[in-house]
Amino acid sequence: MQHVPALHIEPVDFVGHIQHAIEDFRINRARAKAFKKTVRELSTLTDYELSDIGLARSEIITVARQSAI
């Protein structure tokens, strides 16, 4: 008689995967919204106002990315 090892298959939690995907979508959407808002607000400032807060216009995208993390 031959011995066959038992095959153990982990159940897939489809609901958990869907909930996780929805939560990731919400987080990414909120981050994108924060990024766009930061770019929009900083872009309205003059170069003088930006220099007052220690930024150059070329740094707006970088600062917006960091604020959205």
Dump pLDDT digits (tens) for 6-54.
Answer: 777 777 788 888 999 999 999 999 999 999 999 999 999 999 999 999 9
Mean pLDDT of 52-67: 96
Cα dihedral sign for 21, 23, 27, 33? Answer: positive
pLDDT of residue 2: 67
3-state helix, strand, coil in the chain (%, to 5): 70, 0, 30
Examine residue 6 and state whether it is found in any structural domain, yes or no: no
Q: Is residue 63 part of a domain?
A: yes
Beta-carbon neighbour count of residue 57 at 10 Å? 13
Q: Token pair of 6, please?
A: 């038992």
Give the residue numbers spanning the domain of 39. Answer: 28-67
Is the whole-model pTM more than 0.85?
no
Instruction: Tell whether the model's pLDDT for residue 62 goes beyond 60.
Output: yes
